[in-house]
Amino acid sequence: MFKEISDPLYEFIRLSSDELEVVDSFTFQRLRYIKQLGVAHMVFPSAQHTRFEHSLGVMHLGESIYKGLGYRDERLLKMVRLAGLLHDIGHPPFSHTTEVLLGDKSHEAVGKEIVLSGEINQKLRKMGFSQEEVELIAKLAFKEPKTEEEKALSHIITGELGADRMDYLRRDAYFCGTSYGFFDYGRILSHLEMIDGKKCVNKSAIRALESFFLGRFFMYVQVYFHKVVRILNIHLLELIQDYMSRGIFSKEEFHQLTDAHLIALAMNEKNNPLVRRLFLREHFREVFSTDDPIEYKQVKELLKEKFDERDLKFDQAVKNVMDEAFYVNYNGELKEFRQASKLIKSLANIRLYRIYIEPSLKNHAFQYLKKIA
């Protein structure tokens, strides 16, 4: 028995009866109310998609990558699919934006706890998975492989060219209404190979691979690191920290909440300046931006001398073009992708440093910076 779910990227995603047991749990259904891109919908209005459909997409793509790499074990495939399905189960409200509020935990650490105990664990055990197999699912989902084989399997979900990144890039581009994140994923999937234990792509798909990394680069610059998205993230954190300081909820309770909980609280405090900054676009305005950390520090100190620091917000957005080595197969010889592609080699890592100021002081700050330039 299986069920097909309509999806704008893949037309249909098929789930087995066991996978439906997981999806129909309260723990997983919570992901319907966690937006994939936090408050980015305040800038890109159609970016209303959630961790729920992304998780289904990662499960679906995980199978394609698994088979593309030549794996055939059906039992192992079930565990890879479940790892893809559960990889984001530990996300707090508004996704990555608020993860810093989890203290010394990451969403992966929270997710691991959820899978190894409680409702999800019970469902997995009821399906016939041993506790050892459940632990393997957690290793693959939450980047904790112990052996080389586990590492290869984990990369299917979480690697540089894993199902997670391939799905979120295409899904985010689709719902943001941008074209940056679209790439020929079908060609990449059909040219995946495993050589000497390394996941690689045949040279025939190198242009599709370049398109993937370029798309990721531009999505970070134009969407994830958009200047208004970044300042709204800062205001969101301030609002949540205000709720915590007032005892409305604790750090321990926070990761169990949803976006809806926080939005409902905010809608009942329309005169709260922190709420107005976030929901009525009364956010701080950018007055300075650079990719030079030294220049950023200099201007930061100058503005702190002139303005009350409470009227200033500082932001550093950093992302590498590639987080780990990836290989291209040239007739049996593996070449590191960044060295094989002049295009990708020429891309500098993203470094954006910004300073924002209270809206009424924006013109004053601009004039001040002109004087001292």
Which residues, 6 or more positions from 275, have their beta carbon under 8 angstroms from its beta carbon?
239, 266, 269
Maximum Cα interatomic distance, the chain, rounded to a whole number of Å: 71
Residues 211, 74, single domain; the answer is yes
Domain count, the chain: 2
Phi and psi at residue 25, to the nearest 5°: -80, 155
| Domain boundary residue, one of 226, 259, 289 | 226
Which residues, 6 or more positions from 234, have their beta carbon under 8 angstroms from its beta carbon?
284, 313, 315, 356
Residues 242, 141, single domain; the answer is no
DSSP assignment of 159-218: STTSHHHHHHHHHHHHHHT-STT---HHHHHHTEEEETTEEEEEGGGHHHHHHHHHHHHH
Place of tokens 């009424």: 360
Residues 176, 296, single domain; the answer is no
Residues 162, 282, single domain; the answer is no
| Domain boundary residue, one of 226, 253, 276 | 226
> Is the overall model pTM greater than 0.85, yes or no?
yes
Q: pLDDT tens, position by position, for the chain (373 residues)?
A: 789 999 999 999 999 999 999 999 999 999 999 999 999 999 999 999 999 999 999 999 999 999 999 999 999 999 999 999 999 999 999 999 999 998 888 999 999 999 999 899 999 999 999 999 999 999 999 999 999 999 999 999 999 999 999 999 999 999 999 988 889 999 999 999 988 878 889 999 999 999 999 999 999 999 999 999 999 999 999 999 999 999 999 988 998 999 999 999 999 999 999 999 999 999 999 999 999 999 999 999 999 999 999 999 999 999 999 988 889 999 889 999 988 999 999 999 999 999 999 999 999 999 999 988 6
For residue 242, give its domain range: 227-319+351-372
What's the chain's length in residues? 373
